[in-house]
Amino acid sequence: MGFKLLDFNIVRVAVASPEIRISDVTFNVSQIKKIINESKAKGSHIVLFPELSITGYSCGDLFFNNELQELALDGISEILNYSKEIDEIIIVGFPLLIESKLYNSSAVIFKGKILGFPVKTYLPNNNEFYEKRWFNSADDLTTKSVTFLDNTIPIGNNLIFKCVNNSKFTFGVEICEDLWAVKPISSDLALQGANLILNLSASNELLGKKEYRKELIRSQSARTNSIYAYASASLWESTTDLVFSGHCLIYENGKLLAESERFSLNNLMIVSDCDLDIITNEREKNATFLNKKNLIEPQIIYFTFNETETKQLYRNISQTPFIPKTAQEIGVACNEIINMQASALARRLLQIGANKVVIGVSGGIDSTLALLVSYEAFKKLNYDINGIYGISMPGFGTTHRTKNNAQSLSEILKINYLLIPIENSTLQHFKDIDFNKNQTTIVYENAQARRRTHILMDYANKVNGIVVGTGDLSEIALGWSTYNADHISMYNVNASIPKTLIKTLIKWYAENKFDILSREILYDILDTPISPELLPANEEGKIDQETEKILGPYLLHDFFLYYGIRFGFNIKKLALYAEFAFQDLYDFGTIKQTLKTFYKRFFQNQFKRSCFTDGVKIGTVSLSPRGDWRMPSDADSSAFLEKIENLKSIIKI
């Protein structure tokens, strides 16, 4: 047993570039059928082939030959007959003659039927391609349908294909140059509801064209908030003065999901599971999709898809979706993020005329990043580094390790370091409110947190500066802060940075800004268990109150934050993604319990976010109540928690 992808609004797309022989339809059809078998064996919903793949793109004046035209129709008929027992949409390119005019067309085939003939609109006529010599534009069509094998088939550049049993599974087709035009056909198709755009292409290679092509497709996928699949003609198409590579690509909302090798002598195929929920969620937030003026009038074609179950995903689901994939991308992102944080803080300091900041330095990762960002802001402003006050406030749970790391880091940066213990003042406070100091309840913990904030605020007033907040996005989501304590500051530089990304930023800073000896301090801070240190240490003097043992792993919380809040995934979809992403790290029980904790705390703690401090927005996920996240403080989580309670493992079914 397994699960059905469409139940989770996932469509499996195969993009292929087969070995072909120019004008040898029989051979070409045999290769297409071979790939259909391979893609179906992988459970694909759609398989896309290149432009004019039935005949080959480079036939030239042979396109005028009646024999080749008839062979092409025979080839379509053969694939049509072959597809009768195959639950897969097949899209192939071929030349179609209509009333003495030839069109660069494609056939959308499903279970022995042709759903439609999408036709190419923009025909190149340059030094490389002379399509206007052979073909007519879709704009020249005088009919919306044609008769083929006694069936009436919709034709044009305005065909929208909709799945009856999953409305999100909606696609449109454009052909090669239709994308390269000033106004791509896919733009209208997307605005008319197509979540998936399929492009049959024959794009020859030139030096630098690969990257240009990728950027064009990436940009169109992002602009149209669509899944964009692209199949280009293979090396076997190469002839005379041109070489082709078989470049196949799949993008999702501007992100590359799959890419083929190029210049292979073998059949090429890539397969990826594409997420329709991500697309529809992006469009819900994009006002562009409300403006549908001056669009081509669509022809809607319906189909019903009855899929079989699968046990796997052809999709890379990162355990750390907030962190870029490659080392180069991480380096670029980290430099940009810290620059954004420092610039935002600098702007605030300039606005209020302050040249002093106060930070509670705990030896933990959040305060470490805030301190590094403040340091960068002061360098940008040419302010005296002594205007940064790092205040260490050891309490009942502070360990020597964290206190020493906070002091050592402050000394490396040459900032003003102050040690202000809070034990005595907190004990006095316990007396004032008649609280038993031996009861390590929430009062015991929060009194220390509020005492620290009190000191920071007053010291900021003393030096005419501001308190820089340290609370990160993960803590804001979970409400893991003491109200009116670390919950509040005068400006929060970490408000849009999740816990997993903070670790990456500090590691990058250590390796790129510190010398070998100094970076060991940052490495030790990264290696220290995450803790508020509000409860006494253990007998060995080590941290006993570990946050992740209480809340669950931040890896999971940040994962749920990204997919659950950023893309609005439902509970069942979140669990599916988490199981596949973490199957070698966490068991299903851990995933389920952490998911429950996440939603329970996320709902319960909106009241803290509703009155949160200003903080710079960095990524696409932000919980600022002034812009990105509007939620009632008294929303009820019961329905969500019930769904989580009823979850069953999908992988182990």
User: Which active-site residues does the annotation give?
Assistant: 51, 120, 176
The tokens for 81 are 């007959």
Compute CA distances 612 → 359, 448, 488, 491, 607, whole Å. 18, 20, 7, 10, 9
Query: Considering only CA atoms, which of 117, 131, 236, 256 is closest in space to residue 181?
Result: 131
Neighbours of 376 (CB within 10 A): 20
| Rounded distance between C-alpha atoms, residue 46 and residue 36, angstroms | 9
Counting every residue written for the chain, the total comes to: 653
Q: Which residues on neighbouring strands pair with residue 15, listed in sequence order?
A: 48, 270
Q: Specify the residue for token string 């000191």.
A: 455
- Give yes or no for a contact between 32 and 49, defined as CB atoms under 8 angstroms apart: yes
Sign of CA dihedral 230, 236, 239, 245: positive
Compute CA distances 82 → 34, 90, 195, 342, whole Å. 11, 11, 28, 62
| Rounded distance between C-alpha atoms, residue 441 and residue 71, angstroms | 83
The tokens for 298 are 């669509």
| Rounded distance between C-alpha atoms, residue 291 and residue 131, angstroms | 33
- Give yes or no for a contact between 624 and 615, defined as CB atoms under 8 angstroms apart: yes
Neighbours of 343 (CB within 10 A): 16
Q: Specify the residue for token string 């639950």.
A: 87
Q: What are phi and psi of 132, to 5 degrees?
A: -65, -15
Helix/strand/coil (H/E/C) assignment for every residue in 153-205 = EEEECCEEEEECCEEEEEEEEEECHHHHCCCCHHHHHHHCCCCEEEEEECCEC
Q: Specify the residue for token string 């750390």.
A: 320
Give the 3-state secondary structure of residue 410: helix
Neighbours of 296 (CB within 10 A): 16
| Rounded distance between C-alpha atoms, residue 562 and residue 560, angstroms | 5
| Rounded distance between C-alpha atoms, residue 329 and residue 86, angstroms | 41
Contacts of 617 (CB under 8 A, 6+ apart): 495, 496, 624, 627, 628
Neighbours of 400 (CB within 10 A): 12
The b-or-e profile of 429-444 (16+ CB within 10 A means b, else e) is bbeeeebeeeeeeeeb
| Rounded distance between C-alpha atoms, residue 171 and residue 162, angstroms | 7
- Give yes or no for a contact between 502 and 530, defined as CB atoms under 8 angstroms apart: no
What count of Cα atoms within 13 Å lies in the side-chain half-sphere of residue 292? 10
